[in-house]
Amino acid sequence: MIDYLFEGNKRFLETDFIENREYYKGLSKGQSPKVLWIGCSDSRVDPERITAARAGEIFVHRNIGNIVPISGWNFATVLEYAIKHLKVKDIVICGHSDCGAIKGLDKETDDAYVPFWLGNAIEAKERVDERLPPASTPEEKVARLDEIAKENVRLQLKHLRNYPLVKKAERDEKIRLHGLYFDLGSGTLSPVT
């Protein structure tokens, strides 16, 4: 697999990098993305690919389940850097279909870390459980998981607004928060309201 990655880098150098040498030269001197993207680690949901963004346009933080932890040094550091130093204008939380983290909310496991982490999303499942009856068909199960994934985006936006830095930046109209949902089957990115 490592050889495959090096071959891919060669293709990148021979095409995109050479064709856009001046653009990449500018990036080598610094970055000024306008968006902080909080997305899932899922290998099928690459933010730059699904938005056709260029290198340097999106500052990305990915984790299992696109979670904004109530407290977490890693996340808080990314958030602080994005808002205070990069001066991003928009923060996106993006969920997606067929999310393993969302499926994991319904499963018992002997994993040591995953259940602890998913505790940051359990309220999304509970909200959907209050609204929807248990799924009885495969189609209903998919629809229910999609609804939990979208509810998780809403919940993570709520978590994000608990950070004093975000509260202030949003109050001062320096940032806008957005919830998005990516459907793997259709390739469509849509707002979560």
Per-domain residue ranges of the chain: 1-30, 31-191
Q: Is 96 annotated as a binding residue?
A: yes
The residues with which 146 forms a beta bridge, in sequence order, are none
User: Pairing state of beta strands 176-183 and 188-191?
Assistant: antiparallel
- Which residue in 72, 70, 96 sits closest to 161, CA to CA? 70
Q: What's the Rg (C-alpha) of the chain?
A: 18
Mean pLDDT confidence for 186-191: 98
Question: Which tokens belong to 32?
Answer: 């000024």
CATH topology for 31-191 is Beta-carbonic Anhydrase; Chain A (3.40.1050)
pLDDT of 107-165, one tens digit each?
888 898 999 999 999 999 999 999 998 899 999 999 999 999 999 999 999 999 999 99
Do the beta carbons of residue 23 and residue 54 sit within 8 Å? yes
In this predicted structure, the answer to whether residue 72 has a pLDDT above a threshold of 90 is no
Q: Is 40 annotated as a binding residue?
A: yes
pLDDT of 7-46, one tens digit each?
999 999 999 999 999 999 999 999 999 999 999 999 999 9
pTM of the model: 0.94
